[in-house]
Structure 1
């Protein structure tokens, strides 16, 4: 059932991004970036089997970050998209620092959470560093490439700039993240498989989000500041 659950989860997450945009405008997109980025850095610690391949679970939520960034780029311009990227980066740094501080508190005698928190957040700094470097590199490229293709096509072919910018950015992101986060953790063969499948599954969600960015254009016209 992993495959059915994964596809359903992807569609649900993309729908939620549209809903948050409909009710909260650009603030909703900032929320999507922060929420998805924080959770995907926890979910990425879990590996699953999908279609006979080993991959990390955080692919769906991270792909949702790119959808929100592209929506900010399309509707509000490069400056707002860069704000979203920076906001996501800052919140990831703060979560990492705050949870490391939390782990240094001595637990009470009847505490049961410390070992579980250590298992998750003790590994988090390495994952967070990998994620931050990969996130900054890939998202910076994504914003640049989105506007590059928008200029090249005179604002037409939204599907092209949405996919061309995101797919290339996923290759950058997955290469940087997997090498830093998982080198030495998994055997080389498994690491390479995770790297390849991460790109493939993120690419699948990116293609899946194409109709959603067109739906977002309709949602955009319905917002109070744009409705006629």
Structure 2
């Protein structure tokens, strides 16, 4: 039996799968940041003489938006807010450790310092870009989905998953590419990354909609709840209250 709950009545500590999902979400987020510096081409696709380009992160990062949809749709905006902040702080830790290890003197017999630096020395800039874009994009995505769920009274899930992706990924993609690649790539490359990255993520979400439906419906049955954000404080910085409410 699935109970409809107002978000403020849902206690995250009572849910069976929420913490596991947060762990997987954070792992995917960290991997995305490590591989995001590489600019990749999508083979066998040509559009008006251009070969689509995406950053390495865009091959995996859209999955985090699917997680964001699941958090908000099943557990409510507050649960998504908490997951976003956990991912945010995990990224900061990754950056600090990466920079520290690069700066720490290497042993004389270790000959891979240059290769190590080529990956981790520029990670801080990309992580700054990713953090800002992730924060803005994820909260845009979660807010849009939570509001649309109220507007549709919980019907037509696909409109919420796709609609929130259209807004959230636009904010995320534009922000991360501009911060990460200005000065490192030409404007034509930056424009291509934004255009193809954005549509790649949106199409990714559309294609993944049946999977999202399956996960959401099974989670709602397993947890026995369906949370609606009526009267929710959508302030992103209210995360401390979410932690206390565990």
Note whether the superposition's TM-score is higher than 0.5: yes
**Stretches of 4+ aligned residues off by more than 2 angstroms:** none
**Cα-Cα RMSD:** 1.5
CA–CA distance in 2 between the matches of 1:118 and 1:172? Answer: 30
Q: CA deviation at 1:215?
A: 0.6
How many Å apart are 1:70 and its aligned residue?
A: 0.9
Partner of 2:39: 47
Q: Which residue of 1 aligns with 2:108?
A: 109
Q: Which residue of 1 aligns with 2:167?
A: 168
Residues 150-172 of structure 1, C-alpha deviation per residue, up to 9 Å, x if partnerless?
A: 01101111100111011211110
SS in structure 2 opposite 1:55?
strand
* 1:86 correspondence with 2:78: no
SS of equivalent residue, structure 2 residue 24 = helix
Instruction: Show the counterpart of 1:75.
Output: 74
- 1:190 equivalent to 2:182? Answer no
Q: Is the 8 A contact 2:40 2:53 kept in 1?
A: yes
CA contact (8 A) 1:141 1:165 kept: yes
Larger of the two Rg values belongs to structure: 2
**1:31 paired residue number:** 23
1:28, 1:216 → 2: CA distance? 14
Rounded to whole Å, the distance in 1 between the matches of 2:88 and 2:66 is: 16
Would the alpha carbon gap of residues 176 and 221 (structure 1) be closer, same or farther in structure 2, given more than 3 Å must change?
Answer: closer
Report 1 or 2 for greater relative contact order, CA contacts < 8 Å, sequence distance ≥ 6: 2
Does the residue aligned with 2:53 lie in a helix, a strand or coil? strand
Distance 1:114 1:67 in 2: 36
SS of the equivalent of 1:110 reads coil
Deviation at residue 57 of structure 1 after TM alignment = 2.0
CA distance 1:175–1:161, change in 2 (3 Å): same
Aligned match of 1:12: none
Deviation, structure 1 residue 212? 1.1
Q: Which runs of 5+ in 2 are unaligned?
A: 1-15, 46-50, 226-246
Q: Report the TM-score, using the length of structure 2 for normalisation.
A: 0.79
2:68 pairs with 1:62: no
For residues 62 and 114 of structure 1, the distance between their equivalents in structure 2, rounded to whole angstroms, comes to 28
What is the count of residue pairs matched by the alignment? 203
TM-score, length basis structure 1: 0.85
The 8 Å contact of residues 96 and 124 in structure 1, kept in 2 or not, is answered as yes
